[in-house]
Amino acid sequence: KKKDLQQMLKSIEDKEAKMKEIAKTDKAKATELKDKMVWKSAIEKARGNRVKDDPKLLRKTIKRQEQKKEKSKKDWNNRVQAQQNAMKERQKKRKANIKERVQRKKVKKIKK
């Protein structure tokens, strides 16, 4: 999905650049193409399709997705770290219990 948005953004920027180039040489043709694009997006909107042709909104969406991804990555790393810490604590507790049991056995043997 992210690549789709980036591809959309790139194609829109390319179209805008092309429109500027055409506007420099032939203004009538540029206005005609612009009208054509406006009508095309209006027809798509009328059909009920979403038209994603605003580069500003696309950039904002891409940025939001990247932030969401970073947050998710950070949360995951915190979770992994918490699991590792919990495992170390359990191992530490287990070693202490084993050591204590061995000590009790030794004391019991000495009493006999």
pLDDT per position as a tens digit, 58-96: 999 999 999 999 999 999 999 999 999 999 999 999 999
Say what the pLDDT of residue 2 is.
59
Nearest to 19 by CA among 68, 60, 53: 53
Amino acid in position 32: E
pLDDT tier, 30 (very low <50, low <70, confident <90, very high otherwise): confident
102 lies in which domain range? 5-111
> Which two tokens mark 77?
């790393």
The whole-number pLDDT of residue 26 equals: 86
Q: Say how many domains are in the chain.
A: 1
- pLDDT above 90 for 37: no
Q: How many helices (H) and strands (E) does the chain have?
A: 3, 0
The pTM of the whole model exceeds 0.95 = no
- pLDDT: which is higher, 76 or 8: 76
